Amino acid sequence: MAVGVLALQGSYNEHIAALRRIGVKGIEIRKPEQLRGVDSLIIPGGESTTMAKLAELHNLFPALREFVGSGKPVWGTCAGLIFLANKAIGQKTGGQDLIGGLDCTVHRNFFGSQLQSFEMELSVPKLAEKEGGTSTCRGVFIRAPAILEVGPNVEVIADCPVSSDQLKVAIPASDGQQEREFTNNRVIVAIKQGNLLATAFHPELTSDSRWHRYFLGMVEEAKEEATPSAVMVKYDLYGDGNDRAKKPHDLPIFE
């Protein structure tokens, strides 16, 4: 199995290393024609405005939208989440192009500046049910976005509390609704909708491989639906219970 990783800017090397640790090849994607050689795609974290400008420069947006619309699995982390959202607020002047596909509203820089980056244990029972391990995972939030609203067909996988000093956010009016204030005490940070997965944090910067294995499960399911007779590889999260300790990490990660 090979997974495409959009390699315009950001943490694409870390995603490729995370895939390598579980025996999967990551292919760097920089041109539209390269998308034809992969059945799935990871859009990494980074600076979303810069990534959008580079994607526009390389005429990638039409191909990326076609890829998402084809039903092939796509996972966006941090900036990748912003790319996949149907609606993004808190953008820089002039905004940026989005790929779309996820029925959600994302705040581009909800948690603040680079100095407000943080780590947090997240409750992820659905991930644990699917991939084993503990019911929590380490979330690394680096100048991170947050999901303020989701549509009825979106599955919420993880959320996190909003601190008391977090500024209230105005959600612009749309579809005949009035502008309103987001006042919830929790925000959503991981969702799944059909062939799309998105996380506001960076699983590729931790030693927990379950998010990448979860995405590979989506790839296998998509292939199974396309070719029901195919034999799919099944992954065991921890093998003998110590597989992560046996595999050297070739890039720095947060334990």
Quick check: is 14 catalytic? Answer: no
Residue 231 — very low, low, confident or very high, per pLDDT cuts 50/70/90? very low
pLDDT for the residue numbered 228:
45
What per-residue confidence (pLDDT) applies to 229? 38
User: Does residue 21 form part of some domain?
Assistant: yes
Q: Is 138 annotated as a binding residue?
A: no
48 assigned binding-site residue: yes
- List the CATH number of the domain containing 72: 3.40.50.880
Residue 91 lies in a domain: yes
Residue 252 resides in a domain: no
Q: What is the pLDDT of residue 91?
A: 63
From the list 14, 78, 212, 220, the catalytic residue is 78
* 3 state SS of 95: coil
Termini Cα distance of the chain: 27
Give the pLDDT band of residue 182 (cuts 50, 70, 90): low
Q: How many domains would you assign to the chain?
A: 1
Alpha-carbon span 16 to 9, nearest angstrom: 13
Mean pLDDT, the chain, whole residue set: 83
Return the structure tokens found at 132. Answer: 């084993």
Q: Return the HEC string of 55-78.
A: HHHCCCHHHHHHHHHCCCCEEEEC
Tell how strand 186-193 and strand 155-161 pair up.
antiparallel
- Residue with token string 């991930």: 127
Confidence of residue 230 (pLDDT cuts 50, 70, 90): very low
How much is the pLDDT for 123? 97
Q: Angle of helix 48-57 relative to helix 61-69, nearest 10 degrees?
A: 100
Structural domain span for residue 51: 2-160+186-246
Residue 33 domain flag: yes
177, part of any domain: no
Annotation says 78 is catalytic: yes
**90 in a labelled binding site:** no
Q: How far apart are CA 79 and CA 46, in angstroms?
A: 6
Is residue 204 assigned to a domain?
yes
**Residues 250, 202, 13, 90, Cα dihedral to 10°:** -160
- Assess whether 202 carries a catalytic annotation: yes
The active-site residue out of 15, 107, 202, 212 is 202
Average pLDDT of the residues in 105-126:
87
| Paired tokens of 237 | 């999260």
Confirm or deny that 47 is annotated as ligand binding.
yes
Q: Does residue 208 form part of some domain?
A: yes
Task: Read off the pLDDT band of 164 (50, 70, 90).
Answer: low
Examine residue 174 and state whether it is found in any structural domain, yes or no: no
Question: Is 155 labelled as part of a ligand binding site?
Answer: no
Look up residue 49 and give its two tokens. Answer: 């405005």
Q: Quick one: what percent of the chain has pLDDT higher than 90? A: 62
For the chain, what's the residue count? 255
Is position 16 annotated in a ligand binding site? Answer: no
pLDDT band at residue 234 using 50, 70 and 90 as cut-offs? very low
User: Measured between alpha carbons, how far is 60 from 51 in angstroms, rounded to an integer?
Assistant: 11
Task: Give which of 79, 73, 204, 84 is closest to 137, Cα–Cα.
Answer: 204
